[in-house]
């Protein structure tokens, strides 16, 4: 059913839908959010099908996939919000069915009691969500203190964010943790943000935050659920807007991403088109296939370039101990080339401007700015 204003479904449209139904149709889904009254009217008209709006479909998918405390609490809140919205509708239907007079007064009283009860429960869940957010903020504050460069992946559901993170993990130095995240051909695969450390040899290490997939035209209640994703964008140094190039709505995908993050700093934004194996795009932005490590390396190089801008490039000789020391400096010192000689090693490194002290570990042959 296409979007229509609630309450405006005329007899003609209803008959048209009726004619299109057969016994295989179990659900009727409307793209527009249904008012409680419309839901009841539609359900009466189509007693053999379950009436749902897009919002309910999304919530039931969320419900099935939720596994963390935060996502489970968010689903609980969404369910209570739906129950609250439908309360008035069930009361209206009760009135229409002749619940007037004395019964009407009782009905109204019951409605108030139910409303207060739900409001109290929603308040409790909101408090718990806030506590959970605080816990997560503490973790991210600690991360900030460690000052790791952070890249957030944001995009439509099914754009390939988790696939990209998994390919990055596969490029990690041997021996580094590379616990994969779930990636599947389904909407809302990831319901929680996941953070992983990426350490590709000869490039600066960084953190990647995989976020919850977005959808177009999202009900405001769900935006609440996307708050953690949005917080990750605020904290990130680079935000990759990953666009699914296999779909025809590429512009709409970008607009949706930007609508979720209106305050996003333009300098942070990096637009990347994914699934270039399915669509050969002509664009100035980077195009990749998240499944192909070679093309993902191009992204690593771009991130590295951003991260190490202003670093001092030092070329020269060191011994094994000095190299080991340099390797321990994380993103303050990125060794970009290492050639073993007979006694010494030839080393090229990028050094953060605030760690000029590290330059003494290399018997310098040349210095320049990155
Ligand atoms: N052909 C092709 N398929 C891809 C590519 N990248 C991802 N996919 C597929 O797209 C589907 C969705 O990938 P995910 O990585 O789970 O997508 P996501 O953006 O994390 O989705 P959500 O977690 O729902 O937000 C999976 O079936 C992937 O195998 C690509 O470059 N080419
Ligand atoms: Mg995912």
Looking at ligand 1, which residue's alpha carbon is closest to its atom 8?
160
116 plus 255 within the same structural domain: no
Residue 332 domain flag: yes
pLDDT value for 107? 74
Name which of 5-19, 187-201, 215-229 the model is least confident about.
215-229
Query: Using CA atoms, how far apart are residues 285 and 241, in angstroms rounded to an integer?
Result: 11
**Structurally, how many domains does the chain consist of?**
4
CA torsion through residues 329, 330, 336, 341, sign: positive
8: pLDDT strictly greater than 70: no
Q: What is d(CA 232, CA 172) in angstroms, rounded to the nearest whole number?
A: 22
Determine the pLDDT at residue 98: 54
162 lines ligand 1 (CB under 6 A): yes
Residue 234: the pLDDT is: 84
Going from the Cα of 61 to the center of ligand 2, the distance in angstroms, rounded, reads: 14
Displacement of CA 112 from its chain's centroid (Å): 38
**Structure-model confidence comparison of residues 228 and 324, the more confident one:** 324
pLDDT of residue 6: 43
208 & 222 share domain: yes
- Higher-scoring residue by pLDDT: 167, 9: 167
HEC string for 150-188: EEEEEEECCCCHHHHHHHHHHCCCCCCCCCCCCCCCCCC
Whole-number pLDDT of residue 2: 43
206 and 319, same domain (yes or no) = no
Q: Which of 281, 306, 331 is the last residue of a domain?
A: 306
Indicate if 160 and 294 belong to the same structural domain.
Answer: yes
- State the pLDDT at residue 260: 83
Question: Could you tell me if 161 and 213 are in contact, meaning their C-beta atoms sit under 8 angstroms apart?
Answer: yes
Residue 118 sits in the same domain as residue 163: no
Answer yes or no: is 314 within a domain. Answer: yes
The pLDDT of residue 290 is above 80? yes
Q: Between residues 289 and 4, which one has the greater pLDDT? A: 289
At 141 the pLDDT is 58
- Give the CA angle between residues 193, 198, 204 to the nearest 5°: 130
Q: Name the token pair of 284.
A: 């100035």
- Centroid of ligand 1 to alpha carbon of 60 (angstroms): 21
List Cα–Cα distances, 21 to 1, 15, 17, 335, in angstroms.
Answer: 12, 10, 7, 65
Average pLDDT over residues 297-309: 97
**How does residue 3 score in pLDDT terms, banded at 50, 70 and 90?**
very low
What separation in Å is there between the alpha carbon of 1 and the centre of ligand 2?
A: 28
How far, in Å, is the centroid of ligand 2 from the Cα of 163?
7
Separation of alpha carbons 333 and 358, rounded Å = 8
**269 and 320 part of one domain:** no
pLDDT of residue 170: 94
Concatenated DSSP letters for 200-253?
A: -TTS--EEEEE-PPB-SS--HHHHHHTHHHHHHHHH-SEEEEEEETTSS-HHHH
Q: Which residues pair with 206 in a beta bridge?
A: 198
Considering the domain architecture, whether residues 173 and 50 belong to the same structural domain is answered as no
pLDDT at 131 over 60: yes
Is residue 254 within 8 A of residue 241, CB to CB? The reply is: yes
In a domain, residue 342? The reply is yes
Which residue puts its alpha carbon closest to atom 27 of ligand 1?
A: 185
- Tell me the percentage of the chain whose pLDDT exceeds 90: 42
Residue 325 lies in a domain: yes
pLDDT score for 93: 55
pLDDT for position 164: 97
Does residue 1 surpass a pLDDT of 50?
A: no
Residue 196 has pLDDT above 70, yes or no: yes
pLDDT, tens digit (0-9, with 9 covering 90-100), for 227-282: 666 777 888 999 999 999 999 999 999 998 998 888 888 999 999 999 999 998 99
Q: Would 83 be classed as within a structural domain?
A: yes
pLDDT digits (tens, 9 = 90+) for 139-152: 665 555 567 899 99
Closest atom of ligand 1 to CA, residue 153: 19
State residue 250's pLDDT score: 94
241 is a domain residue? yes
Co-location of 55 and 72 in the same domain? no
**Edge-to-edge, what's the strand order for the sheet holding 345-351?**
333-340, 345-351, 312-318, 363-369
Residue nearest to atom 2 of ligand 1 (CA): 275
68 CB within 6 A, ligand 1: no
- pLDDT of 158-188, one tens digit each? 999 999 999 999 999 887 777 888 777 767 7
Is 71 found in the same domain as 56? no
Q: Which of 186, 278, 290, 296 to mutate to test the pocket of ligand 1 (most atoms within 8 A of CB)?
A: 290
Share of the chain above pLDDT 70, in %: 85
Lowest mean pLDDT, pick from 72-76, 200-204, 235-239:
72-76
Based on the fold, state whether residues 114 and 171 are members of the same structural domain: no
Residues 339 and 244 in one domain: no
Cβ-contact 313, 348 below 8 angstroms? yes
Mean pLDDT of 201-209: 93
Give dist(CA 84, CA 91) in Å, integer.
11
Compute the mean pLDDT over every residue in the chain, rounded to the nearest whole number.
Answer: 84
Ligand 1 in reach of 163 Cβ (< 6 A): yes
Could you tell me if the CB of 159 is within 6 A of ligand 1?
Answer: yes
Q: Do 162 and 248 form a contact (C-beta atoms < 8 A)?
A: no
Task: State residue 130's pLDDT score.
Answer: 85
Distance from the alpha carbon of residue 35 to the mean position of ligand 2, in angstroms: 31
Provide the domain limits for residue 349: 309-369
157 and 256 assigned to the same domain = yes
Residue closest by Cα to atom 11 of ligand 1: 185
| Residue with the larger pLDDT of the pair 316 and 34 | 316
Domain assignment present for residue 315? The answer is yes
Cα 137 to middle of ligand 1, angstroms: 28
| Residue 201 domain flag | yes
Choose the final residue of a domain: 276, 306, 336. Answer: 306
The CATH number linked to 204 is: 3.40.50.300
pLDDT at 349: 94
Greatest distance between any 2 Cα atoms in the chain = 100
Beta bridge partners of 341: none
Q: Identify which has the larger pLDDT, 275 or 89.
A: 275
């Amino acid at each position: 059913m296409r979007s229509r204003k609630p309450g405006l479904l005329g007899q003609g449209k209803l008959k048209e839908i009726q004619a299109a139904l057969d016994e295989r149709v179990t659900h009727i889904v409307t793209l527009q959010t249904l008012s409680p009254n419309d839901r009841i009217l539609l359900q009466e008209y189509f007693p053999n099908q379950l009436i749902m709006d897009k919002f309910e479909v999304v919530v039931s998918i969320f419900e099935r996939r939720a596994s963390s405390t935060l996502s489970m609490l968010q689903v609980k809140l969404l369910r209570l919000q739906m129950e609250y919205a439908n309360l008035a509708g069930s009361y209206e239907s009760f009135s229409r069915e002749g619940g007037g007079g004395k019964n009407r007064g009782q009905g109204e009283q019951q409605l108030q009691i139910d409303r207060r009860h739900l409001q109290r429960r929603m308040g409790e869940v909101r408090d718990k969500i806030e506590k959970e957010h605080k816990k997560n903020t503490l973790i991210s504050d600690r991360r900030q203190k460690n000052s790791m460069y952070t890249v957030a992946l944001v995009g439509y559901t099914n754009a390939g964010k988790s696939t990209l993170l998994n390919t990055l993990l596969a490029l990690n130095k041997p021996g580094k943790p590379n616990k994969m995240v779930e990636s599947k051909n389904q909407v809302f695969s990831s319901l929680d943000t996941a953070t992983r450390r990426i350490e590709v040899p000869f490039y600066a290490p960084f953190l990647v935050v995989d976020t919850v997939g977005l959808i177009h035209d999202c009900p405001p209640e769900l935006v609440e659920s996307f708050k953690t994703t949005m917080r990750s964008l605020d904290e990130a140094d680079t935000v990759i807007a990953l666009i699914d190039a296999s779909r025809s709505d590429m512009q709409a995908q970008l607009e949706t991403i930007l609508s979720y993050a209106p305050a996003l700093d333009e300098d942070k934004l990096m637009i990347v088109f994914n699934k270039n194996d399915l669509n050969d795009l002509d664009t100035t932005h980077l195009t990749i296939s998240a499944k192909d490590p070679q093309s993902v390396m191009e992204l690593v190089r771009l991130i590295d370039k951003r991260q190490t801008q202003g670093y001092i490039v030092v070329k020269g000789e060191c011994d094994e101990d000095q190299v080991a020391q340099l390797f321990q400096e994380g993103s303050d010192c990125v060794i970009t080339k290492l050639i073993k000689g007979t006694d010494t090693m030839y080393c090229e490194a990028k050094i953060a401007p605030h760690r000029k002290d590290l330059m003494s570990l290399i018997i310098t042959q040349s210095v320049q700015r990155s």
